[in-house]
Amino acid sequence: MSLTKIEDRPMYFGSENYSQEWITIEESDKVKTILDSYGDEQKRSIIYAVATKPLTFPEIVKVCKMPLATCHRKIHSLMEGGLLVSEDGYSRIRSKRFRNAFKEIRINVKKDAIIVDARPRQTNF
């Protein structure tokens, strides 16, 4: 299930950085996926590694300094969760580049809920 297909309604925040389209993620399972991914040190290191430019699987392994199998599993999990996207959309990990699905994520804790506002990246690499 991809997070990028959640409520495509635009949100505008009025300041210089917040005039682009945002999506609001309120569904508890998707919010949990985001929180769990950023809470996992290895997944977080992968997300940070591809924050500035797309990287291939071997480049991610090298930058993140983790075993091949672990990196493969974490990338697959991040793709399934919608936090990482590939340039070709296929499931074969070793032959493509990856990047973050979102430019920016904000987590809002309210009385009875955790709500995530996210600004998606452009689809092109």
d(CA 49, CA 23): 23
Q: Is 121 helix (H, G, I), strand (E, B) or coil?
A: coil
* Cα distance between residue 4 and residue 67, in whole Å: 29
Query: What are the structural domain ranges in the chain?
Result: 3-120
Assess contact for 111 and 24: CB atoms under 8 A: no
The architecture that CATH gives domain 3-120 is Orthogonal Bundle (1.10)
What is the mean pLDDT of the segment spanning 82-101?
Answer: 78
pTM of the full predicted structure? 0.76
Extract the tokens encoding 121.
């990246």
In the prediction, which pLDDT does 20 show? Answer: 61
Mean pLDDT of 43-65: 94
